[in-house]
Amino acid sequence: MTTSLSPTLQLAFDLIRRPSVTPEDAGCLELLGERLEKLGFKLERLKFGEVDNLWARKGDQGPLLCFAGHTDVVPPGPAERWDTGAFEPQIDAQGELRGRGAADMKGSLAAMVTAIEGFLEMHPDHQGSIALLLTSDEEGPAVNGTVKVMEHLEARGEKMDWCLVGEPSSTARLGDFIKNGRRGSLGARLLVKGKQGHVAYPHLAANPIHLAAPALAELTAATWDEGNDFFPATSLQISNIQAGTGATNVIPGELEVIFNFRFSTEVTAEELQKRTEALLDRHALDYQLDWTLSGQPFLTAEGRLVEAAQQAILEVTGQPTQLSTAGGTSDGRFIAPSGAQVVELGPINATIHQVNERVRAEDLNLLSQVYQRLISKLLS
């Protein structure tokens, strides 16, 4: 069956067959590197901790267009729930390519490589440079992947002008949305201290649940900002609350609350921290608060990269695209602070991280065409 596949789909099949669950790469970078080396790319294999990364660049002149992506995938879950093997790619009767990573994001990686191959065949003497930044640590902790590669590049003064991240940005049809930014993510672990005791003698104890409840109510009802033309208002969500020993007659001594801000460019992480701590202080709580900043918000409001992406999608699909900053975080958060224009453009995201992950096979062929048109608009 695979002998009749397009080059993009054949490469996608080869990548999906490799069980590269974070942080394992399972040979994906080697496979991609071999293809790129044949095109004249200089390969730099960068290993940080247990994470394999690849920086591949062709050319030493500006401007520099980089494609960024990840070879790692989330665990497939119970094997019996998959209609086909998670790492046994197949195209079903509906023309959908099934397999873990088909949409997120091995299909995009295949489209990137074949787009570059097609562009170089037509434009061997192109302007500027092309690069790929590939990691196997996007779906996991994301501490030894793209962020470390960016630090490595910054240390030697190597700068991108444009970066296209191949995350699955589309919703109903290929290219209906591209992400030109993402909200920031600020997590917190709040520990409220009380005094354990018997429920029959509350005057001898201090219930941290009761003490914290008014503060939590105020925290969840607060307005942090109004958002702007590109971002919705900042939101706070409590994801976990835990207290007690499991016994029904014991007042707990501590309450743990896990919450997260998804914040816009209208507010900073520091402002959110200060406002939260001031609120807790007003309620006179005995507390400990630990913060984790997963990523700052970023926005590429306009510029050549956004325009090139919009035009390429229109020319290939015949349909316009919309800009969006919705969704979770991506590795774009590590790239944007360098000053590069960043957009995310990839296939439909309806089944990412699900059992029976799939993507329309023809969409990957179209995505390769879109990527190739985009390269041409920027470097020819």
Sign of the alpha-carbon dihedral angle for 303, 306, 308, 310: negative
The helix (run of H) or strand (run of E) holding residue 79 is: none
* Residue 229 falls in the annotated catalytic set: no
Which residues, other chains included, contact 14 with Cβ-Cβ below 8 Å and sequence gap of 6+?
31
Task: Judge contact between 107 and 364, C-beta under 8 A.
Answer: yes
Angle at alpha carbon of residue 13, lines to 3 and 371, rounded to 5°: 100
Q: CA-to-CA distance for 359 and 98, rounded, in angstroms?
A: 7
* Residue 151 falls in the annotated catalytic set: no
User: Pairing relation of β-strands 197-198 and 287-295?
Assistant: unpaired
Cα dist. 213→102, 208, 283, 287, 288 in Å? 44, 8, 10, 13, 16
The two counts, helices (H) then strands (E), for the chain are 9, 19
Choice among 14, 25, 52, 72 that is catalytic: 72
Choice among 25, 52, 117, 138 that is catalytic: 138
Task: Judge contact between 329 and 223, C-beta under 8 A.
Answer: no
Q: Give the residues across from 133 on adjacent strands.
A: 55, 68
- Residues marked active site are found at 72, 138
